[in-house]
């Protein structure tokens, strides 16, 4: 796994778009999001700070986020579902 940070200890924040669309649609809270990132079956680093996380939680989902080492923060940008 490419993940180089501890999901349990870092701060998680989300974009307004992700919160109002995907979190609402999936009926998730921040604990569900943290668990999904922690238990992802595939993590791809796609940029300097950007990751794509593939999750199997009530269906297939993809979460795109940036990890900022200087703030120890995961900022979730957007999501998708399906194949």
- The confidence band for 15, taking pLDDT boundaries of 50, 70 and 90, is very high
Distance CA 23, CA 34 (A): 12
Average model confidence (pLDDT) across the chain = 90
Both tokens of 2, joined, read 């490419």
CA within 13 Å, CB half, 53? 26
- The span from the CA of 48 to the CA of 32, in Å, is 26
Neighbours of 74 (CB within 10 A): 22
pLDDT at 5 over 90: no
CATH among 2.40.160, 3.30.70, 3.10.450, 3.10.350 for 11-81: 3.10.450
Domain map (residue ranges) of the chain: 11-81
Given a contact cutoff of 8 angstroms between Cβ atoms, the answer to whether 37 and 49 are in contact is no
pLDDT per position as a tens digit, 32-62: 999 999 999 999 999 999 999 999 988 899 9
Q: What is the mean pLDDT of residues 22-37?
A: 93
């Amino acid at each position: 796994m490419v993940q180089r940070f501890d999901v349990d200890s870092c701060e998680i924040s989300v974009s307004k778009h992700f919160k109002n669309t995907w979190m609402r649609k999936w009926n998730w809270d921040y604990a569900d999001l943290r668990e999904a990132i922690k238990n992802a079956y595939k993590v791809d680093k796609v940029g300097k700070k950007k990751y794509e996380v593939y999750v199997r939680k009530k269906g297939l989902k993809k979460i795109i986020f940036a990890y900022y080492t200087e703030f120890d923060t995961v900022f979730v940008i957007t999501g998708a579902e399906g194949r």
